[in-house]
Amino acid sequence: MTDLTPEQNAGQSWTLDLDPASTRVLVNGFQSWSEAELQPLTATQNRPTFVWMQEHGHDPAFLPGSDEEGGEAGVWRSHTLIALVRPGGGGYVGHSLDESRSSAHWEARAEGSQVRLTLWVEGPAIPLVFTETDDVISTLEALSAQLGHNMAARTPAPLRVWCSWYSYYRDVTLPQMLENARLSHEKALPFDVFQLDDGFQADLGDWTLPAAHFAGHAADLPGGLAELGYAAGIWLAPFLAGPNSELFKAHPDWMLRGQDGQPLPIGHNWGGPYYGLDTTHPEVLGWLRELAREVVSWGYSYLKLDFLFAGALPGVRHDPSKTRTEAYRMGLAALREGAGDETFLLLCGAPLASSIGIADAMRTGPDVSPIWDDDARRVWLHDATGPAARNALHTALSRWYQHAWYQPDPDVMIAREVQSMLGSTERHALLGLLDVIGGLRASSDPISSLDEDGLILLRRALELSTPDRPITLETSFGAAVTHFRRGTF
Ligand code: 9PG
């Protein structure tokens, strides 16, 4: 085993005696929605065709698959760790052991009859390990556990959550939330939390202002839920601001800026561009602390904090001495301080390893949706980070070792037959694979949409039967192969 010294962090490369044709590579994406996968080294890593797809899934400073559109055969990029697997399960593992200040970027490249591995560390030197092993899976588990330990991973119990997003999307209202909770109570469904998602807010950044379309105020929900025995959860994208929001108008100087000194549009959604807060700015940190404190004071004990990658993007910041990772963690720490130690924080769209120690749970894949596979986007546009059951499961399964970092959230089960294109086999496949992954259990089905079969599936999905440690990679992929309708997972 090689413990890499700080001097070696600067840019290290190895030529490995591995036959590219028989080697598989395990990669981990930048944030929750980015692809993670185990693939033949000679295959091609997806690089999404359109910039708007890259914006929501990838680190712009380290896009997958070299510079060519659609990626390049035999070139694989990975964040934090990488594994190269020989037939039989031996091979090499490279792993960062601390991602609180710097982050490790790895690239494996097929070169003739050998494999070239390169490491870049962004930020000050950090402890890293690069090792040859007879058993990649055990080594990866052990090194990931070490990273979790070094960063004081939190170890909460998993929760059972009803979330409004995958049925109501942005049309959610206060009466609908309460009606679902009432019906759930009537049927004695074992949810712990009812979580309000995107749609209640006046604008991105204007989280506390009333919004007519929600038919009430988010502050009014927790009381009604408590009467029914449920904890209250709420979605925030705390590092984002919409261009028409009061937040943006009042504080343009709080935004991450481009080289021209102007606020930098960092993505497109909600019908236009959005901006990101500069989490090294002391006033922003104060605002984040106060936001989390206020929402908790309304009665919310579960916060789903989304689009957090915005805090870790390249850009000009108030404090240029901070690395992207440090800037991100400063923003996250401010939210934790405001929310308090007891509040459950589920992170989403979030850089993965650099969240350890602050996150209770982490979305470890892209969104589930009521379609199995978005073939057009995945196959033709090289983007498997979009919403689809297949994409969500594929990536969440490929991050099985991250249970040592936080509770994984593989996203919701869809048990309903209405408003869904999933067939019966696909619903059961989704159920089986979510069970394999473990972690949070969630549903978004309107309770009134479930018939007897649907209720049976939902109850099964909410059973926290999986041990805290998911079963091994081989077993996961065995299950995947058994369950997958097309066998093309
Ligand atoms: C609310 C949703 C839900 C969901 C999150 C997140 O534009 N995009 O590419 C894009 C990607 C993901 C996404 C929304 C938009 O989903 O994962 O659970 O909370 O936000 O808007």
Q: What tens digit of pLDDT does each residue of 118-173 get?
A: 999 999 999 999 999 999 999 999 999 999 999 999 989 999 999 999 999 999 99
Q: What's the CA gap between 34 and 383, in Å, rounded?
A: 9
Give the model confidence (pLDDT) of 276-311 as tens digits.
Answer: 999 999 999 999 999 999 999 999 999 999 999 999
Low-confidence winner among 36-45, 65-74, 349-358 (lowest mean pLDDT): 65-74
Distance 305 CA to ligand 1 centre (A): 11
Domains of the chain (ranges, CATH numbers): 2-150 (no CATH), 160-483 (3.20.20.70)
Q: What's the CA gap between 380 and 401, in Å, rounded?
A: 30
pLDDT of 488 higher than 70: no
One DSSP character per residue, 178-214 reads: HHHHHHHHHTT---SEEEE-TTSSSBTTB-SS-BGGG
Q: What's the CA gap between 357 and 337, in Å, rounded?
A: 13
- Looking at this predicted complex, what is its ipTM? 0.99
Q: What's the CA gap between 489 and 483, in Å, rounded?
A: 10
pLDDT of 480 higher than 90: no
One DSSP character per residue, 275-324 reads: EEB-TTSHHHHHHHHHHHHHHHHTTEEEEEE--GGGGGSSSB-SSTTS-H
Give the model confidence (pLDDT) of 258-278 as tens digits.
Answer: 999 999 999 999 999 999 999
pTM of the model: 0.95
Residue 55 CA, closest ligand 1 atom number = 9
Distance 33 CA to ligand 1 centre (A): 9
Q: Whose CA is nearest to atom 12 of ligand 1?
A: 367
Enumerate residues lining ligand 1, CB below 6 A. Answer: 33, 56, 165, 197-198, 235, 269, 306, 348-349, 367
Residue 268 CA, closest ligand 1 atom number = 7
What is the chain's Cα-based Rg? 22
- Position 433 scores a pLDDT of 87
Instruction: Give the SS3 label for residue 73.
Output: strand
| Both tokens assigned to 352 | 């993965």
Give the model confidence (pLDDT) of 359-386 as tens digits.
Answer: 999 999 999 999 999 999 999 999 999 9
Distance 328 CA to ligand 1 centre (A): 19
CA 171 to chain centre: 23
